[in-house]
């Protein structure tokens, strides 16, 4: 990539916005002896490919247990993928030498088919251009400006729960998907999307998510392997395109003053070229924001309800904070800053169950990480789920304890021992919005309801493109 004047200043701006991450430089000792990664070989010829396709999380857990602290090579047919979990190695990949780690095909190939060329999927100059254009829309200040809109959407959507209250059990995972879809649609498209368009879109997105999850690791299979579900996948992409492109065209004609993200995207101008986005770019960015926004937030919320139910002492403390700060009235932007324990609960839930539980990169050029030699073209897999549970960095890592995120304790940890929002220049652009939305939903639901897991319902993490409960989450709802 050609580095233009001002590029590094821009990088600083992008990094500076990531207030949670204290970036350090690469301190690996260049004179340290080179070493080979230990290899998990599996079966002859196919290696651990079947295990990767069946349950990637279980495979990664075993690899790290057998080779703690190391970069581990997983043999997948004729190629190797390298599993990276130690925070200092994660930091190198995401931050210190991030430009040598492209997005590649693992997980990104199917995502690219849906999102097209957007800030999430593009690389090099094209990524930098999109990120520079969009960064100003995602500051904490801009997110806060959406508080009133968020509260209104959440309040009207929560009415659905009144019917469930004191009735039979409901699937809280499904409810959280519906809720975050409404919120994300409202934030991106405002009132420009009617009910039937929203229903078509939601249906298509369900298929897209399922198919992306199924395809995440399939690029390791030979090209001639036919992937089932291809027709449904393409049809769902077409439905998404038709709905979103129609909205964009209408909005170009109808003028402004909607105060939603689509308006901000329409108004965005590159500071150098002064050009805005064409219809295709707008389509790709809005689909990206929608998909990136609701899936992850709904998974976070689902795990929060599960964990609160398992830890009544945490739930009591959370209720006490919400009672003390806002009682029964609707939350405002100023209240959110006071809901410190609520935020700690969310952060701790994202430690144990990070919605984006893994990330994939591909090496552009040969590299050496802490003495491990990695060849160009190698796939590198990072796993938040495992790094967030490493004994060297977390005291009693399996225990749900929001106090870990008390501000005085948070600064003592390696900054890459916790990266639910990624890290380095490509950290999550929607982080402020996601935390705000989650804080508001948790607060408004706790104000009204008490949720209880149905006894005996099995809960197990399913590692798809996000981490979700394999059998959903059956819960009953009581009015408080
Ligand atoms: C709890 C909620 C969320 C989680 C856990 C999450 C997680 C992540 C992670 C891990 C990345 C880094 C991907 C990588 O490095 O390859 C990322 C990137 C991104 N996220 Fe989020 N996200 C969340 C919510 C959101 C929301 C609400 C939006 C927008 C509405 C959003 C938009 C994006 C975009 C556009 C990127 C790509 C940034 C870039 O490559 O420059 N995310 N997110």
Q: Mind listing the pLDDT tens digit for each residue in 198-255?
A: 888 888 988 998 899 888 888 888 777 778 888 999 999 999 999 888 888 888 888 7
Q: Which domains does the chain have, with CATH numbers?
A: 7-479 (1.10.630.10)
What percent of the chain shows pLDDT beyond 90?
71
> pLDDT tens for residues 343-354?
999 999 999 999
Give which of 11, 23, 295, 24 is closest to 135, Cα–Cα.
11
Q: Which two tokens stand for residue 345?
A: 């609960």
Give which of 299, 325, 295 is closest to 446, Cα–Cα.
325
Q: In angstroms, what is the span from residue 294 Cα to ligand 1's centroid? A: 10
pLDDT at 16: 41
What's the distance, CA 180 to chain centroid?
Answer: 13
pLDDT band for position 453 (cuts 50, 70, 90): very high
> Could you give the CA distance from residue 78 to residue 377 in angstroms, rounded to a whole number?
13
Ligand 1 and 176: CB distance under 6 A: no
> Could you give the CA distance from residue 1 to residue 266 in angstroms, rounded to a whole number?
27
Q: In angstroms, what is the span from residue 431 Cα to ligand 1's centroid? A: 7
Ligand 1 and 388: CB distance under 6 A: no
State the closest ligand 1 atom to the C-alpha of 103, by its place in the atom list counted from 1. Answer: 16
State the closest ligand 1 atom to the C-alpha of 184, by its place in the atom list counted from 1. Answer: 30
State the chain's mean pLDDT as an integer: 89
pLDDT band for position 21 (cuts 50, 70, 90): very low
For atom 21 of ligand 1, the residue with the nearest CA is 428
Q: In angstroms, what is the span from residue 40 Cα to ligand 1's centroid? A: 30
Give phi and psi for 236, each to the nearest 5: -65, -35
pLDDT at 256: 66
Ligand 1 and 434: CB distance under 6 A: yes
pLDDT at 265: 92
pLDDT at 31: 67
Ligand 1 and 297: CB distance under 6 A: yes
Ligand 1 and 97: CB distance under 6 A: no
Q: What is the pTM of this model?
A: 0.92
């Amino acid at each position: 990539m050609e580095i233009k004047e001002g590029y590094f200043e821009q990088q600083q701006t992008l990094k500076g916005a990531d207030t949670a991450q204290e970036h350090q430089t690469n301190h690996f000792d260049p004179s340290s002896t080179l070493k080979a990664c230990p290899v998990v070989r599996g079966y002859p010829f196919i290696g651990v490919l079947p295990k990767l396709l069946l349950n990637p999380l279980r495979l990664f857990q075993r690899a790290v247990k057998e080779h703690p602290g190391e970069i581990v090579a997983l043999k997948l047919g004729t190629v190797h993928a390298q599993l990276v979990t130690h925070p200092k190695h994660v930091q190198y990949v995401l931050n210190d030498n991030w430009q040598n780690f492209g997005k590649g095909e693992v997980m990104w190939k199917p995502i690219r088919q849906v999102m097209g060329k957007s800030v999430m999927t593009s690389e090099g100059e094209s990524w930098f251009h999109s990120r520079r254009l969009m960064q100003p829309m995602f500051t904490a200040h801009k997110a806060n400006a959406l508080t009133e809109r968020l509260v209104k959407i959440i309040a009207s959507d929560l009415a659905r729960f009144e019917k469930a209250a004191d009735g039979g059990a409901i699937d809280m995972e499904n409810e959280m998907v519906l809720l975050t879809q409404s919120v994300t649609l409202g934030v991106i498209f405002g009132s420009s999307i009617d009910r039937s368009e929203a229903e078509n879109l939601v249906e298509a997105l369900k298929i897209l998510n399922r198919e992306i999850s199924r395809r995440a690791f399939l690029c390791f299979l030979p090209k001639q392997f036919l992937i089932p579900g291809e027709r449904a996948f393409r049809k769902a992409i077409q439905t998404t395109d038709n709905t979103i492109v129609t909205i964009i065209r209408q909005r170009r004609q109808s003028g402004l003053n909607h105060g939603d993200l689509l308006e901000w995207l329409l108004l965005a101008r590159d500071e150098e070229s002064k050009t805005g986005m064409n219809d295709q770019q707008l389509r790709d960015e809005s689909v990206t924001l929608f998909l990136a926004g609701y899936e992850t937030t709904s998974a976070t919320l689902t795990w929060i309800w599960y964990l609160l139910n398992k830890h009544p002492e945490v739930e009591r403390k959370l209720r006490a904070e919400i009672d003390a700060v806002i009682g029964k009235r609707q939350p405002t932007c100023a209240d959110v800053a006071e809901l410190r324990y609520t935020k700690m609960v969310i952060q701790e839930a994202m430690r144990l169950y990070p919605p984006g539980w893994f990330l994939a990169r591909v090496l552009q050029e040969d590299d050496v990480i802490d003495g491990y030699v990695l060849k160009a073209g190698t796939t590198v897999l990072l796993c938040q789920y495992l790094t967030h549970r490493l004994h060297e960095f977390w005291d009693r890592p399996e225990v749900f304890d929001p106090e870990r995120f008390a501000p005085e304790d948070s600064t003592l940890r390696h900054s890459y021992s916790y990266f639910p929002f990624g890290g380095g220049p490509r950290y999550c652009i929607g982080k402020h919005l996601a935390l705000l939305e989650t804080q508001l939903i948790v607060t408004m639901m706790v104000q009204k309801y008490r949720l209880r897991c149905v006894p005996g319902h099995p809960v197990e993490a399913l590692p798809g493109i996000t981490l979700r409960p394999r059998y959903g989450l059956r819960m009953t709802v009581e009015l408080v």
